[in-house]
Amino acid sequence: MTDPTKTGAVLEPTVFELSHPGRSGYRLPALDVPEVDLAEVLGSANLREGPPELPELSEPEVVRHFTRLAEMNFHVDRAMYPLGSCTMKYNPKINEEMAGLPGLTGIHPEADATECQGAISLVYNLGRMLAEISGMDEVSLQPPAGASGELAGMLIVRAYHNDQGNPRSKVIVPDTAHGTNPASLTLAGYDAVEIHSGPDGRICVEALADMVDEETAAFMITNPNTLGVFEDRIAEIAEIVHSAGGLLYLDGANLNASLGVVRPGDVGFDVMHFNLHKTFSTPHGGGGPGSGPVGVKSFLAGYLPTPVARRDERKARGFEFDFDYDRPKSIGKVHSVYGNFLVAVKAYAYILTLGPAGLRRVAENAVLNANYLQKKLEPLYDLPYKGLCQHEFVLSATRQKEHGVRALDIAKRLLDYGLHAPTVYFPLIVKEALMVEPTETESRASLDRFVDVMAEIAAEAERSPELVKGAPTETPVSRLDESRAAKELNVTWQGR
């Protein structure tokens, strides 16, 4: 039977095409004050000719439109989402409910501290918990995403060196780094200097020693790195960087593997950011909102973004919690207010639900699941970096490429089997990379299913490569033409 949704050229019209003049899906209260003459109060020269051409739909039509769009999405509540470095774990439902409590959603940020003690205590206490988990001394929740946390962290590095009277010019990053790392340090005024990974996927400590000099502001790394490998010589690395006066920065994207196992602050990191939307289970929302708190050792605490939540147990000012704005050394603000508070609420609820033993079990199961998958997939796909992995590992589709099947094709074919694809073509140093991060919330049965499908695709790649290259066929649309999108650029609906 033909799928009726696939016979037309348009799966779901845009909201503009669904518009019909005269409708609105929302009713306002009756205006109980005199209606102003707009030209008089705003000035006729300031007024637009007619209202903006927004679509006109009833409420049920709006709901149907977005429901039909939703049905075209893959999501983690449906099946495994093994995107490497993205930590697509299950998003606990109670956390969504807690973040929707009217006593939290309805707080205006300009309310006096006395009127929002619950909210400030949450900000303060989540900061304390993240500090304890990471071994950092102080944490600010202000950065609204990981890259914003990186910028804040790098500006802290900069402020520190400037204060020492010793501004520096470069930051070293490994070739396995997330793209945000070099982009953020550039925004913080530094030159990115790349260090190559050694044959075991780790930083070559000897090469680093040659590279670090008095111009090195920081060494910015992810640990475990994006190959899923822990930098086992991290103590030596810290020593090299510190003895040259530099700082050690941790991109905390992969912190999931370390919870309760190893604390970045204990192994020499001076500054780091967290990704609450990865490690601490807050949903990714199809591209945010995230939350990227920045944590530092105490000697850097004065540089944290303003304001900083603080606690006064003696209530000298009459209350326990407030925000400290008097931070003369601060890098300033990276967000309009306090960051993505309602995202932080979910991370707070998650930590309280798990407790210390539960957090450690997250790391254990994340690493267990990854190693289990790696072991099962190693016979089927090339594994450039062998040995135990941490929370993720990177396969290479070089074997399949001999049949003309690329990593991208394998990714698309996975969609046909109802699974999400791994991250592809990253890290950049692995050819035809497939970067797999199962996370701790997948069951063994779910991992086995992934292995079965990957085995089937490997067999298909040999037997019928065209099938894989023609994937996906089971998704709402077949493969989309990315170069046409860039060439015939259409980023806004031009019709009525």
Partner 1 sequence: MPYDSNTDRDREDMLREIGVGSMDDLFADVPSVLRTTADLDVPGPLSEAELVRHMQRLASMNRTTDDVVSFLGGGIYDHTVPAVVRYVTSMPQFYTAYTPYQAEASQGTLQSIYEFQSLICRLTGLDVANASMYDGASAAAEACLMGVSIKRRHKIVVAGSAGPALRAVVATYLEASDIEIAELPVVGGVTDVSGLEEHLADAAVLVVQHPNFFGVLEPMEELAAKCEAAGALLVVSVDPLSLALLRPPADYGAAIVVGEGQSLGSPVGFGGPLLGFMSARREFVRRMPGRIIGETADTEGRRGYVMTLQTREQHIRRQKATSNICTNEGLVALGAAVHLSLLGKKGFRELAVQVTSKAHYAAEALASVGGVSLRFDAPFFREFVVDLPVAAHRVKEELGRVGIWPGISCGCWYDGMEKSLLVSVTERHTREDIDSLASGLEAVISAGGNS
* DSSP SS3 for 303: helix
Q: Is 295 a binder of partner 1 (CB under 8 A)?
A: no
Query: What strand order describes the sheet that includes 138-140?
Result: 138-140, 294-296, 271-273, 247-251, 216-222, 170-174, 191-195
Task: Report in angstroms how near the CB of residue 194 gets to partner 1 at its nearest.
Answer: 9
Supply angle C-alpha 239, 245, 249, rounded to 5. Answer: 70
Q: Exactly one of 137, 244, 263, 383 binds partner 1 (CB under 8 A); which one?
A: 263
For tokens 């006395």, name the residue: 114
Residues of this chain, 329-388, that bind partner 1 according to CB under 8 A? 331-343, 345, 349, 351-362, 364-365, 367-369, 371-372, 375-376, 387-388
Q: Exactly one of 178, 297, 401, 406 binds partner 1 (CB under 8 A); which one?
A: 178
Is 428 or 462 the residue whose CB approaches partner 1 more closely?
428
- 285 burial (CB, 10 Å; 0-12 / 13-18 / 19+) is exposed
Contact between 169 and 191 under an 8 Å Cβ cutoff? The reply is yes
Task: Report in angstroms how near the CB of residue 401 gets to partner 1 at its nearest.
Answer: 20
Task: Report in angstroms how near the CB of residue 273 gets to partner 1 at its nearest.
Answer: 12
Q: Exactly one of 104, 204, 211, 244 binds partner 1 (CB under 8 A); which one?
A: 104
Task: Report in angstroms how near the CB of residue 407 gets to partner 1 at its nearest.
Answer: 12
Stretch that binds partner 1, among 31-39, 203-211, 449-457, 459-467 (CB under 8 A): 31-39
Residues paired with residue 322 on neighbouring β-strands, in sequence order: 310
Task: Report in angstroms how near the CB of residue 38 gets to partner 1 at its nearest.
Answer: 6
Residues of this chain, 205-244, that bind partner 1 according to CB under 8 A? 224, 229-230, 232, 234-235
Parallel/antiparallel/unpaired status of strands 191-195 and 170-174: parallel
Is 19 or 400 the residue whose CB approaches partner 1 more closely?
19
Q: Is 453 a binder of partner 1 (CB under 8 A)?
A: no
Cβ-Cβ contacts under 8 Å for 68 (sequence gap 6 or more) = 12
Amino acid at the residue 79? A
Is 207 or 477 the residue whose CB approaches partner 1 more closely?
477
Contact between 437 and 83 under an 8 Å Cβ cutoff? The reply is yes
Residues of this chain, 35-74, that bind partner 1 according to CB under 8 A? 35-36, 38, 41-43, 45-48, 51-57, 59, 62-63, 65-67, 69-74
Nearest alpha-carbon partner for 5 in 64, 68, 93, 89: 68
Contact between 313 and 284 under an 8 Å Cβ cutoff? The reply is no
Task: Report in angstroms how near the CB of residue 281 gets to partner 1 at its nearest.
Answer: 7
